A and B are shown apart, each in its own frame.
Chain A
Protein backbone atom coordinates (compact mmCIF):
# COMPACT_ATOMS: atom_id res chain seq x y z
CA UNK A 1 0.00 0.00 0.00
CA UNK A 2 1.35 3.38 -0.94
CA UNK A 3 2.00 6.01 1.67
CA UNK A 4 -0.76 8.41 2.46
CA UNK A 5 -3.20 5.63 1.81
CA UNK A 6 -2.19 3.06 4.36
CA UNK A 7 -5.24 1.29 5.65
CA UNK A 8 -4.89 -0.76 8.76
CA UNK A 9 -5.96 -4.35 8.34
CA UNK A 10 -6.09 -5.22 12.00
CA UNK A 11 -9.30 -6.90 13.00
CA UNK A 12 -10.77 -9.83 11.13
CA UNK A 13 -14.52 -9.63 10.58
CA UNK A 14 -16.56 -11.51 13.04
CA UNK A 15 -17.23 -15.02 11.79
CA UNK A 16 -17.20 -16.07 8.19
CA UNK A 17 -20.11 -17.90 6.63
CA UNK A 18 -18.86 -21.51 6.34
CA UNK A 19 -17.53 -21.63 9.89
CA UNK A 20 -20.78 -20.07 11.07
CA UNK A 21 -22.83 -23.05 9.91
CA UNK A 22 -20.38 -25.45 11.49
CA UNK A 23 -20.42 -23.61 14.77
CA UNK A 24 -24.22 -23.48 14.76
CA UNK A 25 -24.33 -27.28 14.48
CA UNK A 26 -21.71 -27.57 17.21
CA UNK A 27 -23.65 -25.22 19.47
CA UNK A 28 -26.89 -27.14 19.02
CA UNK A 29 -25.09 -30.43 19.69
CA UNK A 30 -23.53 -29.09 22.89
CA UNK A 31 -26.86 -27.72 24.12
CA UNK A 32 -28.61 -31.01 23.35
CA UNK A 33 -25.93 -33.04 25.13
CA UNK A 34 -26.01 -30.74 28.14
CA UNK A 35 -29.74 -31.39 28.52
CA UNK A 36 -28.83 -34.92 29.61
CA UNK A 37 -26.69 -33.80 32.54
CA UNK A 38 -29.51 -33.69 35.16
CA UNK A 39 -30.53 -37.20 34.15
CA UNK A 40 -27.21 -38.63 35.31
CA UNK A 41 -28.20 -37.89 38.89
CA UNK A 42 -24.75 -36.49 39.66
CA UNK A 43 -25.51 -33.56 41.96
CA UNK A 44 -22.08 -31.99 41.69
CA UNK A 45 -22.09 -32.12 37.89
CA UNK A 46 -25.55 -30.59 37.90
CA UNK A 47 -24.46 -27.73 40.14
CA UNK A 48 -21.29 -27.08 38.16
CA UNK A 49 -23.13 -27.12 34.82
CA UNK A 50 -25.77 -24.69 36.03
CA UNK A 51 -22.98 -22.40 37.15
CA UNK A 52 -21.25 -22.71 33.77
CA UNK A 53 -24.47 -21.77 31.94
CA UNK A 54 -24.89 -18.67 34.08
CA UNK A 55 -21.28 -17.63 33.60
CA UNK A 56 -21.67 -18.19 29.86
CA UNK A 57 -24.49 -15.67 29.83
CA UNK A 58 -22.33 -13.29 31.87
CA UNK A 59 -19.43 -13.64 29.44
CA UNK A 60 -21.50 -13.30 26.25
CA UNK A 61 -23.21 -10.20 27.66
CA UNK A 62 -19.81 -8.74 28.56
CA UNK A 63 -18.52 -9.40 25.05
CA UNK A 64 -21.37 -7.48 23.41
CA UNK A 65 -19.55 -4.48 24.80
CA UNK A 66 -15.96 -5.69 24.51
CA UNK A 67 -15.78 -7.75 21.32
CA UNK A 68 -18.42 -5.96 19.31
CA UNK A 69 -18.02 -2.37 20.46
CA UNK A 70 -14.39 -2.36 21.54
CA UNK A 71 -15.13 -1.17 25.06
CA UNK A 72 -13.36 -2.94 27.91
CA UNK A 73 -15.46 -2.70 31.04
CA UNK A 74 -13.81 -3.62 34.29
CA UNK A 75 -16.96 -3.11 36.31
CA UNK A 76 -19.45 -5.69 35.13
CA UNK A 77 -19.65 -7.14 38.64
CA UNK A 78 -21.71 -4.05 39.41
CA UNK A 79 -24.49 -5.09 37.04
CA UNK A 80 -24.21 -8.75 38.03
CA UNK A 81 -24.34 -8.10 41.76
CA UNK A 82 -26.70 -5.15 41.39
CA UNK A 83 -29.40 -7.41 40.02
CA UNK A 84 -28.63 -10.27 42.43
CA UNK A 85 -28.78 -7.97 45.47
CA UNK A 86 -31.95 -6.28 44.23
CA UNK A 87 -33.65 -9.66 44.00
CA UNK A 88 -32.37 -10.76 47.40
CA UNK A 89 -33.38 -7.53 49.14
CA UNK A 90 -36.83 -7.45 47.57
CA UNK A 91 -37.61 -11.08 48.27
CA UNK A 92 -35.78 -11.85 51.54
CA UNK A 93 -36.12 -8.47 53.25
CA UNK A 94 -39.28 -6.98 51.79
CA UNK A 95 -41.27 -10.16 51.10
CA UNK A 96 -41.94 -9.47 47.45
CA UNK A 97 -42.79 -12.47 45.28
CA UNK A 98 -39.85 -14.13 43.58
CA UNK A 99 -41.06 -13.19 40.10
CA UNK A 100 -41.10 -9.53 41.07
CA UNK A 101 -37.58 -9.80 42.49
CA UNK A 102 -36.44 -11.52 39.29
CA UNK A 103 -37.85 -8.85 37.00
CA UNK A 104 -36.91 -5.83 39.13
CA UNK A 105 -33.44 -7.31 39.61
CA UNK A 106 -32.92 -7.26 35.86
CA UNK A 107 -34.45 -3.78 35.67
CA UNK A 108 -31.95 -2.60 38.29
CA UNK A 109 -29.09 -3.80 36.08
CA UNK A 110 -30.62 -1.90 33.15
CA UNK A 111 -30.81 1.24 35.27
CA UNK A 112 -27.25 0.85 36.61
CA UNK A 113 -25.84 0.33 33.13
CA UNK A 114 -27.69 3.38 31.80
CA UNK A 115 -26.34 5.54 34.62
CA UNK A 116 -22.79 4.19 34.57
CA UNK A 117 -22.81 4.34 30.77
CA UNK A 118 -23.89 7.95 30.72
CA UNK A 119 -21.14 8.88 33.15
CA UNK A 120 -18.33 6.75 31.70
CA UNK A 121 -18.75 6.57 27.94
CA UNK A 122 -17.06 9.87 27.26
CA UNK A 123 -13.87 8.13 28.29
CA UNK A 124 -11.91 5.80 26.08
CA UNK A 125 -9.90 2.65 26.46
CA UNK A 126 -8.06 2.38 29.76
CA UNK A 127 -9.90 5.41 31.16
CA UNK A 128 -13.24 3.79 30.44
CA UNK A 129 -12.06 0.60 32.14
CA UNK A 130 -10.95 2.61 35.18
CA UNK A 131 -14.20 4.55 35.48
CA UNK A 132 -16.29 1.36 35.31
CA UNK A 133 -13.96 -0.22 37.86
CA UNK A 134 -14.40 2.77 40.17
CA UNK A 135 -18.18 2.54 40.02
CA UNK A 136 -18.17 -1.15 40.79
CA UNK A 137 -15.80 -0.65 43.73
CA UNK A 138 -18.09 2.06 45.03
CA UNK A 139 -20.97 -0.40 44.90
CA UNK A 140 -18.86 -3.05 46.61
CA UNK A 141 -18.14 -0.55 49.37
CA UNK A 142 -21.85 0.09 49.85
CA UNK A 143 -22.58 -3.63 49.95
CA UNK A 144 -19.92 -4.17 52.63
CA UNK A 145 -20.90 -1.22 54.81
CA UNK A 146 -24.67 -1.00 54.60
CA UNK A 147 -25.11 -4.08 56.77
CA UNK A 148 -28.77 -3.52 57.69
CA UNK A 149 -29.82 -3.93 54.10
CA UNK A 150 -27.10 -5.97 52.43
CA UNK A 151 -25.93 -8.09 55.34
CA UNK A 152 -22.35 -6.86 54.91
CA UNK A 153 -19.82 -9.65 54.55
CA UNK A 154 -22.41 -12.31 55.31
CA UNK A 155 -24.66 -11.34 52.45
CA UNK A 156 -28.32 -12.25 52.24
CA UNK A 157 -29.95 -15.65 52.49
CA UNK A 158 -33.49 -16.78 53.11
CA UNK A 159 -35.18 -16.64 49.74
CA UNK A 160 -36.48 -19.51 47.67
CA UNK A 161 -35.18 -20.71 44.32
CA UNK A 162 -38.63 -21.35 42.90
CA UNK A 163 -37.43 -24.63 41.37
CA UNK A 164 -35.75 -27.83 42.42
CA UNK A 165 -32.10 -27.98 41.30
CA UNK A 166 -33.22 -30.39 38.58
CA UNK A 167 -35.75 -28.01 37.03
CA UNK A 168 -33.72 -24.95 37.79
CA UNK A 169 -31.08 -26.34 35.47
CA UNK A 170 -33.54 -26.51 32.57
CA UNK A 171 -34.91 -23.09 33.44
CA UNK A 172 -31.37 -21.69 33.34
CA UNK A 173 -30.57 -23.32 30.00
CA UNK A 174 -33.78 -21.92 28.54
CA UNK A 175 -33.13 -18.40 29.80
CA UNK A 176 -29.48 -18.41 28.73
CA UNK A 177 -30.29 -19.73 25.26
CA UNK A 178 -33.06 -17.18 24.71
CA UNK A 179 -30.93 -14.30 26.01
CA UNK A 180 -27.96 -15.36 23.90
CA UNK A 181 -30.18 -15.55 20.82
CA UNK A 182 -31.49 -12.04 21.49
CA UNK A 183 -27.95 -10.73 21.90
CA UNK A 184 -26.94 -12.50 18.70
CA UNK A 185 -29.74 -10.76 16.86
CA UNK A 186 -28.62 -7.49 18.41
CA UNK A 187 -25.00 -7.74 17.29
CA UNK A 188 -26.08 -8.82 13.80
CA UNK A 189 -28.55 -5.95 13.46
CA UNK A 190 -27.83 -2.58 11.91
CA UNK A 191 -27.09 -1.23 15.39
CA UNK A 192 -24.57 -4.04 15.74
CA UNK A 193 -23.04 -3.06 12.41
CA UNK A 194 -22.63 0.51 13.59
CA UNK A 195 -21.01 -0.78 16.79
CA UNK A 196 -18.57 -2.83 14.72
CA UNK A 197 -17.91 0.35 12.79
CA UNK A 198 -17.14 2.15 16.04
CA UNK A 199 -14.71 -0.58 17.02
CA UNK A 200 -13.00 -0.39 13.63
CA UNK A 201 -12.93 3.37 13.14
CA UNK A 202 -14.88 5.60 15.48
CA UNK A 203 -14.11 8.81 13.57
CA UNK A 204 -15.60 7.38 10.40
CA UNK A 205 -18.82 6.52 12.22
CA UNK A 206 -19.09 10.12 13.42
CA UNK A 207 -18.46 11.35 9.89
CA UNK A 208 -21.17 8.96 8.74
CA UNK A 209 -23.65 11.01 10.72
CA UNK A 210 -24.01 8.92 13.86
CA UNK A 211 -23.64 9.94 17.48
CA UNK A 212 -21.19 7.29 18.63
CA UNK A 213 -21.99 8.09 22.23
CA UNK A 214 -25.60 7.04 21.67
CA UNK A 215 -24.61 3.70 20.16
CA UNK A 216 -22.05 2.99 22.87
CA UNK A 217 -24.80 3.60 25.39
CA UNK A 218 -27.11 1.13 23.61
CA UNK A 219 -24.36 -1.47 23.77
CA UNK A 220 -23.74 -0.73 27.44
CA UNK A 221 -27.40 -1.09 28.34
CA UNK A 222 -27.86 -4.33 26.41
CA UNK A 223 -24.68 -5.72 27.93
CA UNK A 224 -25.59 -4.59 31.44
CA UNK A 225 -29.16 -5.85 31.25
CA UNK A 226 -28.20 -9.37 30.19
CA UNK A 227 -25.45 -9.38 32.79
CA UNK A 228 -28.28 -8.64 35.22
CA UNK A 229 -30.15 -11.73 34.01
CA UNK A 230 -27.05 -13.77 34.84
CA UNK A 231 -26.96 -12.08 38.25
CA UNK A 232 -30.49 -13.04 39.28
CA UNK A 233 -29.93 -16.63 38.11
CA UNK A 234 -26.78 -16.75 40.22
CA UNK A 235 -28.65 -15.53 43.28
CA UNK A 236 -31.27 -18.25 42.80
CA UNK A 237 -28.72 -21.00 42.25
CA UNK A 238 -27.15 -20.61 45.69
CA UNK A 239 -30.18 -18.94 47.27
CA UNK A 240 -27.59 -16.60 48.71
CA UNK A 241 -25.88 -13.43 47.66
CA UNK A 242 -22.47 -12.50 49.06
CA UNK A 243 -20.13 -9.56 48.37
CA UNK A 244 -17.84 -11.86 46.33
CA UNK A 245 -19.98 -11.14 43.28
CA UNK A 246 -19.62 -7.40 43.78
CA UNK A 247 -15.84 -7.53 44.15
CA UNK A 248 -13.65 -6.38 41.25
CA UNK A 249 -12.23 -9.88 40.87
CA UNK A 250 -15.68 -10.93 39.74
CA UNK A 251 -15.46 -8.31 36.99
CA UNK A 252 -12.28 -9.99 35.83
CA UNK A 253 -13.97 -13.32 35.12
CA UNK A 254 -15.69 -12.32 31.84
CA UNK A 255 -12.53 -10.48 30.76
CA UNK A 256 -10.43 -13.59 31.28
CA UNK A 257 -12.82 -16.11 29.75
CA UNK A 258 -13.45 -13.87 26.74
CA UNK A 259 -9.75 -13.47 26.02
CA UNK A 260 -9.38 -17.19 26.56
CA UNK A 261 -12.23 -18.18 24.26
CA UNK A 262 -11.84 -15.44 21.68
CA UNK A 263 -13.62 -12.07 21.57
CA UNK A 264 -13.89 -12.18 17.76
CA UNK A 265 -16.57 -14.82 17.73
CA UNK A 266 -19.97 -14.76 19.35
CA UNK A 267 -19.53 -18.12 21.09
CA UNK A 268 -15.89 -17.49 22.00
CA UNK A 269 -16.73 -16.30 25.53
CA UNK A 270 -18.93 -19.38 26.04
CA UNK A 271 -16.11 -21.71 25.04
CA UNK A 272 -13.75 -19.75 27.28
CA UNK A 273 -16.14 -20.08 30.20
CA UNK A 274 -16.40 -23.86 29.87
CA UNK A 275 -12.63 -24.23 29.63
CA UNK A 276 -12.10 -21.86 32.55
CA UNK A 277 -14.54 -23.45 34.99
CA UNK A 278 -13.58 -27.01 34.19
CA UNK A 279 -9.84 -26.38 34.31
CA UNK A 280 -10.20 -24.41 37.51
CA UNK A 281 -12.23 -27.25 39.01
CA UNK A 282 -9.69 -29.88 37.95
CA UNK A 283 -6.53 -28.00 38.82
CA UNK A 284 -7.77 -26.99 42.27
CA UNK A 285 -8.06 -30.64 43.15
CA UNK A 286 -4.39 -31.32 42.45
CA UNK A 287 -2.50 -28.20 43.27
CA UNK A 288 -2.67 -25.12 45.39
CA UNK A 289 -0.97 -23.17 42.68
CA UNK A 290 -3.84 -23.37 40.21
CA UNK A 291 -4.11 -19.66 39.88
CA UNK A 292 -0.47 -19.44 38.92
CA UNK A 293 -0.67 -22.21 36.34
CA UNK A 294 -3.88 -20.82 34.99
CA UNK A 295 -2.42 -17.36 34.75
CA UNK A 296 0.47 -18.65 32.67
CA UNK A 297 -1.92 -20.53 30.39
CA UNK A 298 -4.06 -17.43 29.83
CA UNK A 299 -1.08 -15.23 29.11
CA UNK A 300 0.08 -17.82 26.56
CA UNK A 301 -3.28 -17.92 24.79
CA UNK A 302 -3.67 -14.16 24.74
CA UNK A 303 -0.13 -13.52 23.54
CA UNK A 304 0.17 -16.26 20.96
CA UNK A 305 -3.39 -16.93 19.84
CA UNK A 306 -5.23 -13.65 19.54
CA UNK A 307 -8.41 -15.42 18.42
CA UNK A 308 -8.52 -17.46 21.63
CA UNK A 309 -9.55 -21.11 21.77
CA UNK A 310 -12.18 -20.58 19.07
CA UNK A 311 -9.56 -19.02 16.82
CA UNK A 312 -7.29 -22.03 17.29
CA UNK A 313 -10.10 -24.45 16.46
CA UNK A 314 -11.16 -22.45 13.41
CA UNK A 315 -7.64 -22.39 12.07
CA UNK A 316 -7.42 -26.13 12.60
CA UNK A 317 -10.75 -26.74 10.82
CA UNK A 318 -9.68 -24.61 7.87
CA UNK A 319 -6.80 -27.02 7.40
CA UNK A 320 -4.10 -25.05 9.21
Chain B
Protein backbone atom coordinates (compact mmCIF):
# COMPACT_ATOMS: atom_id res chain seq x y z
CA UNK B 1 0.00 0.00 0.00
CA UNK B 2 1.62 3.26 -1.08
CA UNK B 3 -1.15 5.70 -0.21
CA UNK B 4 -4.18 5.32 1.97
CA UNK B 5 -7.00 7.60 3.08
CA UNK B 6 -8.97 6.91 6.24
CA UNK B 7 -12.47 8.34 6.62
CA UNK B 8 -11.51 11.41 4.63
CA UNK B 9 -14.10 14.19 4.42
CA UNK B 10 -14.24 17.70 3.01
CA UNK B 11 -17.23 19.97 3.46
CA UNK B 12 -17.92 23.22 1.65
CA UNK B 13 -20.52 24.83 3.86
CA UNK B 14 -23.31 22.24 3.95
CA UNK B 15 -22.03 20.40 0.89
CA UNK B 16 -20.22 17.12 1.50
CA UNK B 17 -17.83 17.21 -1.46
CA UNK B 18 -15.87 14.23 -0.12
CA UNK B 19 -17.75 12.19 2.45
CA UNK B 20 -16.01 9.61 4.60
CA UNK B 21 -13.80 8.17 1.89
CA UNK B 22 -11.41 5.34 2.78
CA UNK B 23 -9.35 4.20 -0.18
CA UNK B 24 -5.93 2.70 -0.62
CA UNK B 25 -3.70 2.34 -3.65
CA UNK B 26 -1.34 -0.54 -4.36
CA UNK B 27 2.18 0.18 -5.49
CA UNK B 28 2.55 0.35 -9.29
CA UNK B 29 -1.19 0.01 -9.85
CA UNK B 30 -3.37 2.11 -12.10
CA UNK B 31 -6.73 3.18 -10.73
CA UNK B 32 -9.37 5.20 -12.52
CA UNK B 33 -11.77 7.35 -10.56
CA UNK B 34 -15.00 7.98 -12.42
CA UNK B 35 -18.29 9.59 -11.53
CA UNK B 36 -20.59 12.39 -12.66
CA UNK B 37 -19.55 16.05 -12.50
CA UNK B 38 -19.50 17.30 -8.95
CA UNK B 39 -18.99 13.80 -7.53
CA UNK B 40 -15.93 14.94 -5.59
CA UNK B 41 -13.13 13.46 -7.72
CA UNK B 42 -11.09 16.63 -7.97
CA UNK B 43 -11.66 17.43 -4.31
CA UNK B 44 -10.39 13.97 -3.39
CA UNK B 45 -7.18 14.60 -5.37
CA UNK B 46 -6.86 18.06 -3.82
CA UNK B 47 -6.96 16.45 -0.37
CA UNK B 48 -4.41 13.76 -1.22
CA UNK B 49 -1.97 16.30 -2.69
CA UNK B 50 -2.39 18.97 -0.03
CA UNK B 51 -4.15 21.73 -1.94
CA UNK B 52 -7.04 21.38 0.53
CA UNK B 53 -7.10 20.40 4.19
CA UNK B 54 -9.68 17.75 5.11
CA UNK B 55 -12.34 18.38 7.76
CA UNK B 56 -11.94 14.85 9.09
CA UNK B 57 -9.83 11.82 8.37
CA UNK B 58 -6.24 10.94 7.67
CA UNK B 59 -3.94 10.48 4.72
CA UNK B 60 -1.13 7.94 5.06
CA UNK B 61 1.73 7.78 2.57
CA UNK B 62 4.21 4.96 2.91
CA UNK B 63 3.14 4.43 6.50
CA UNK B 64 3.57 8.09 7.38
CA UNK B 65 0.76 10.46 8.33
CA UNK B 66 0.90 13.33 5.84
CA UNK B 67 -2.52 14.84 6.55
CA UNK B 68 -1.05 18.14 7.68
CA UNK B 69 1.93 18.48 5.35
CA UNK B 70 1.99 21.35 2.82
CA UNK B 71 1.95 20.45 -0.90
CA UNK B 72 5.66 20.97 -1.55
CA UNK B 73 6.66 18.52 1.17
CA UNK B 74 4.32 15.89 -0.25
CA UNK B 75 5.84 16.47 -3.68
CA UNK B 76 9.33 15.92 -2.28
CA UNK B 77 8.12 12.66 -0.71
CA UNK B 78 6.89 11.43 -4.08
CA UNK B 79 3.29 12.60 -4.54
CA UNK B 80 2.71 14.52 -7.73
CA UNK B 81 -0.24 15.65 -9.80
CA UNK B 82 -1.66 17.41 -12.80
CA UNK B 83 -4.70 19.67 -12.66
CA UNK B 84 -8.02 19.50 -14.41
CA UNK B 85 -7.37 22.93 -15.89
CA UNK B 86 -3.86 23.27 -17.35
CA UNK B 87 -1.63 24.60 -14.65
CA UNK B 88 1.70 25.64 -16.11
CA UNK B 89 3.90 28.75 -16.32
CA UNK B 90 2.46 30.35 -19.46
CA UNK B 91 5.08 33.09 -19.72
CA UNK B 92 8.09 30.77 -19.40
CA UNK B 93 9.54 28.50 -22.05
CA UNK B 94 8.81 24.78 -22.18
CA UNK B 95 12.34 24.03 -20.96
CA UNK B 96 12.03 26.53 -18.08
CA UNK B 97 8.68 25.02 -17.10
CA UNK B 98 10.35 21.65 -16.61
CA UNK B 99 13.50 23.10 -15.07
CA UNK B 100 11.58 24.47 -12.07
CA UNK B 101 10.32 21.08 -10.79
CA UNK B 102 13.68 19.49 -11.58
CA UNK B 103 15.36 22.06 -9.34
CA UNK B 104 13.39 20.80 -6.36
CA UNK B 105 15.60 17.72 -6.45
CA UNK B 106 18.82 19.69 -6.56
CA UNK B 107 21.15 20.68 -9.39
CA UNK B 108 22.04 17.06 -10.24
CA UNK B 109 18.50 16.43 -11.43
CA UNK B 110 18.99 19.04 -14.19
CA UNK B 111 20.84 16.42 -16.22
CA UNK B 112 17.47 14.69 -16.73
CA UNK B 113 16.08 17.66 -18.69
CA UNK B 114 17.20 16.32 -22.06
CA UNK B 115 15.82 12.87 -21.44
CA UNK B 116 12.43 14.32 -20.47
CA UNK B 117 12.42 16.43 -23.63
CA UNK B 118 12.91 13.26 -25.63
CA UNK B 119 10.24 11.23 -23.83
CA UNK B 120 7.66 13.97 -24.27
CA UNK B 121 8.84 14.86 -27.79
CA UNK B 122 9.45 18.48 -26.85
CA UNK B 123 12.80 18.90 -28.65
CA UNK B 124 11.34 21.19 -31.32
CA UNK B 125 9.36 23.38 -28.95
CA UNK B 126 11.68 23.56 -25.96
CA UNK B 127 12.28 27.31 -26.38
CA UNK B 128 8.67 28.17 -27.19
CA UNK B 129 6.59 29.98 -24.59
CA UNK B 130 4.30 27.54 -22.84
CA UNK B 131 1.34 29.78 -23.69
CA UNK B 132 2.02 29.36 -27.39
CA UNK B 133 2.18 25.58 -27.71
CA UNK B 134 -0.89 23.47 -28.59
CA UNK B 135 -3.41 22.57 -25.95
CA UNK B 136 -2.41 18.92 -26.10
CA UNK B 137 1.23 19.85 -25.64
CA UNK B 138 0.28 21.99 -22.65
CA UNK B 139 -1.38 18.97 -21.07
CA UNK B 140 1.73 16.92 -21.76
CA UNK B 141 3.95 19.69 -20.47
CA UNK B 142 2.12 19.64 -17.17
CA UNK B 143 2.61 15.90 -17.03
CA UNK B 144 6.31 16.32 -17.75
CA UNK B 145 6.50 18.83 -14.90
CA UNK B 146 4.86 16.32 -12.59
CA UNK B 147 7.25 13.57 -13.71
CA UNK B 148 10.25 15.88 -13.21
CA UNK B 149 9.73 15.70 -9.44
CA UNK B 150 10.23 11.92 -9.70
CA UNK B 151 6.95 10.89 -8.08
CA UNK B 152 6.04 7.46 -6.81
CA UNK B 153 2.34 8.19 -7.11
CA UNK B 154 0.89 10.43 -9.78
CA UNK B 155 -2.63 11.88 -9.76
CA UNK B 156 -3.93 12.83 -13.19
CA UNK B 157 -7.11 14.93 -13.14
CA UNK B 158 -8.74 14.61 -16.56
CA UNK B 159 -5.44 14.75 -18.46
CA UNK B 160 -7.18 14.60 -21.83
CA UNK B 161 -9.92 17.17 -21.17
CA UNK B 162 -10.44 19.35 -24.21
CA UNK B 163 -7.87 17.75 -26.53
CA UNK B 164 -8.57 16.20 -29.93
CA UNK B 165 -8.71 12.40 -30.33
CA UNK B 166 -5.25 12.09 -31.88
CA UNK B 167 -3.61 14.04 -29.07
CA UNK B 168 -5.66 12.15 -26.51
CA UNK B 169 -4.24 8.91 -27.84
CA UNK B 170 -0.71 10.26 -27.65
CA UNK B 171 -1.17 11.49 -24.08
CA UNK B 172 -2.53 8.18 -22.83
CA UNK B 173 0.19 6.26 -24.61
CA UNK B 174 2.81 8.32 -22.82
CA UNK B 175 1.04 7.76 -19.50
CA UNK B 176 1.18 4.01 -19.96
CA UNK B 177 4.82 4.10 -21.01
CA UNK B 178 5.77 6.25 -18.00
CA UNK B 179 3.95 3.92 -15.68
CA UNK B 180 6.32 1.14 -16.73
CA UNK B 181 9.59 3.07 -16.98
CA UNK B 182 9.09 5.12 -13.80
CA UNK B 183 7.40 2.33 -11.83
CA UNK B 184 4.56 4.73 -11.09
CA UNK B 185 1.37 4.31 -9.18
CA UNK B 186 -1.29 6.15 -11.15
CA UNK B 187 -4.66 7.51 -10.11
CA UNK B 188 -6.48 8.97 -13.10
CA UNK B 189 -9.77 10.78 -13.49
CA UNK B 190 -11.06 10.27 -17.02
CA UNK B 191 -14.44 10.60 -18.68
CA UNK B 192 -13.85 8.45 -21.76
CA UNK B 193 -15.20 5.06 -20.72
CA UNK B 194 -13.46 3.23 -23.57
CA UNK B 195 -10.17 4.49 -22.27
CA UNK B 196 -11.01 3.83 -18.64
CA UNK B 197 -12.05 0.24 -19.15
CA UNK B 198 -9.02 -0.47 -21.30
CA UNK B 199 -6.37 1.22 -19.16
CA UNK B 200 -7.39 0.77 -15.56
CA UNK B 201 -6.74 -2.26 -13.39
CA UNK B 202 -9.24 -0.96 -10.91
CA UNK B 203 -12.12 1.48 -11.12
CA UNK B 204 -13.52 3.54 -8.26
CA UNK B 205 -16.91 5.12 -8.86
CA UNK B 206 -17.77 8.22 -6.87
CA UNK B 207 -21.11 9.88 -6.47
CA UNK B 208 -22.02 12.80 -4.18
CA UNK B 209 -18.76 12.56 -2.32
CA UNK B 210 -19.07 8.87 -1.57
CA UNK B 211 -17.64 5.68 -3.01
CA UNK B 212 -20.42 4.01 -4.97
CA UNK B 213 -18.42 1.05 -6.22
CA UNK B 214 -14.84 -0.14 -6.28
CA UNK B 215 -13.54 -3.08 -8.27
CA UNK B 216 -12.03 -4.44 -11.46
CA UNK B 217 -13.45 -3.20 -14.79
CA UNK B 218 -15.44 -6.45 -15.08
CA UNK B 219 -17.01 -6.01 -11.66
CA UNK B 220 -17.88 -2.38 -12.33
CA UNK B 221 -19.41 -3.19 -15.69
CA UNK B 222 -21.91 -5.51 -14.01
CA UNK B 223 -22.62 -3.34 -10.97
CA UNK B 224 -26.29 -2.39 -10.82
CA UNK B 225 -25.93 0.77 -8.78
CA UNK B 226 -23.23 2.07 -11.08
CA UNK B 227 -25.35 1.43 -14.15
CA UNK B 228 -28.17 3.36 -12.57
CA UNK B 229 -26.32 6.56 -11.69
CA UNK B 230 -23.54 6.65 -14.14
CA UNK B 231 -23.35 4.21 -16.99
CA UNK B 232 -26.91 4.74 -18.09
CA UNK B 233 -26.93 4.48 -21.84
CA UNK B 234 -23.20 4.02 -22.15
CA UNK B 235 -22.10 1.10 -24.32
CA UNK B 236 -19.22 -0.81 -22.80
A residues neighboring B (CB under 8 Å) = 1-13, 190, 193-194, 196-197, 200-201, 203-212
Contacts and interface: CB of A to CB of B under 8 A. Distances in A.
B100 A207 contact: no
A201 B87 contact: yes
Interface stretch (B1-9, B15-23, B75-83, B172-180): B75-83
Given A4-B162, A6-B85, 14 more contacts: A5-B139, A7-B130, A11-B91, A197-B100, A200-B90, A204-B100, A204-B145, A207-B72, A207-B75, A208-B101, A208-B145, A208-B149, A209-B149, A210-B103
B153 to A, nearest CB: 14
A4 B139 CA distance: 11
A173 to B, nearest CB: 33
A contact patch SS: loop
A241 B131 CA distance: 48
Contact of B100 (A3, A8, A12, A210): A210
Contacts of B88: 7, 201, 204
B36 to A, nearest CB: 16
B90 A209 contact: no
Contacts of B208: none
9 contacts: A1-B135, A5-B86, A5-B163, A9-B91, A11-B90, A12-B91, A190-B107, A201-B90, A208-B72
B125 to A, nearest CB: 15
Given A4-B158, A5-B162, A208-B145, A197 B80 contact: no
Contact of B87 (A2, A190, A204, A211): A204
A6 B139 CA distance: 11
A198 B152 CA distance: 25
Contacts of B101: 208-209
Contact of A209 (B75, B96, B138): B75
B138 A5 contact: yes
Interface in B21-73: 49, 51, 70-72
Interface in B83-119: 84-93, 96, 99-101, 103-105, 107
Nearest to B158: A4
B92 A196 contact: yes
Contacts of B100: 193-194, 197, 204-205, 208, 210
Q: Taking each of B70, B81, B89, which has the highest tally of chain A beta carbons within 10 Å of its own beta carbon?
A: B89
Contacts of A9: 90-91, 131
Contacts of A1: 135
A4 B149 contact: no
Contacts of B130: 7
Given A9-B131, A207-B80, A190 B103 contact: yes
Which of A7, A8, A210 is packed against the most chain B CB atoms within 10 Å? A7
